Amino acid sequence: MADFNSDRLAVLIDADNAQPSVGAELMAEIGRYGTATVKRAYGDWTTSNLIGWKEHLHTLAIQPIQQFRLTAGKNATDSALIIDAMDLLHGGRVDGFCLVSSDSDFTRLATRIRESGLSVYGFGEKKTPKPFVAACNRFIFTEILRAPSEPPGAPPSGQAPLKPILIGAVTAATGDDGWAFLGAVGSLVNKANPEFDPRNYGKKKLGELVKSQPYLEVRSQQAEDGSPTAQIYVRVKEI
């Protein structure tokens, strides 16, 4: 469980490109990164396409933002979401954004928000285009919020192989004693791969994931401050 984070987050949902079936799990996941002070879902609520979301709006306290499709082929929903995001950004009432969509049209929005020094958490399906994923500080595939449909340890489609990711981060974080602090490894991995999450590989935490890799050696050490939580260190095994 992540440490409590008091950041105020704006949750902006592209209802046309997000799955309502994981609505409750989505909000629980967002709670790991901060407090959702703004919760809005954008779409044409007069159509039958969004009936799935309608059932979740009241229970999750999400405000529906109506956007009529006045011109065929034009996505007015995206424009409305982007305009609201910029208003919130310049209003200074939030510390970060959660963009819920599998649409690459929000790539520039995510980049612009990060340029202003705020964090962007993306949420979308594994089919989400790589540019949008890379534009976020962190990207969570919504499939991992459901009951697993893939065998444990199966990498998500389109994701880089796990071994080079971990070895690269461990090598970069290794100190003079030949060991790398797991916290530093995790930080490096997430910076280089916003979509990385141990749950994509059937593990709840990074510590469990590295312990299951045969090419890595792991040791625990009692914290110097007397904390009951042991610190975990890892290194690449010699061949």
What pLDDT digit, counting tens, does each position of 56-97 carry? 898 899 999 998 765 554 477 888 999 999 999 999 899 999
Nearest one of 124, 144, 150 to 25, comparing CA atoms? 144
CATH number at residue 33: 3.40.50.1010
Q: In terms of domains, do 40 and 124 share one? A: yes
pLDDT in tens, 186-212: 999 988 888 999 999 999 999 999 999
Nearest-angstrom CA–CA distance, 200 and 156 = 6
Summary mean pLDDT of the chain = 87
154: in domain: no
pLDDT in tens, 87-141: 999 998 999 999 999 999 999 999 999 999 999 999 999 999 999 999 999 999 9
Q: In terms of domains, do 27 and 119 share one? A: yes
155: in domain: no
Token code pair at residue 108: 């520039």
Region 137-153 average pLDDT: 74
The per-residue pLDDT for 149 is: 46
Q: In terms of domains, do 110 and 181 share one? A: no
Q: In terms of domains, do 135 and 79 share one? A: yes
Determine the structural domain holding residue 51 and report its residue range: 8-145
The per-residue pLDDT for 40 is: 96
Task: Determine the residue type at 54.
Answer: K
Structural domains counted in the chain: 2
Whether the pLDDT of residue 157 is over 90: the answer is no
Q: In terms of domains, do 104 and 191 share one? A: no
CA 163 from chain centre, in angstroms, equals: 21
Q: In terms of domains, do 47 and 129 share one? A: yes
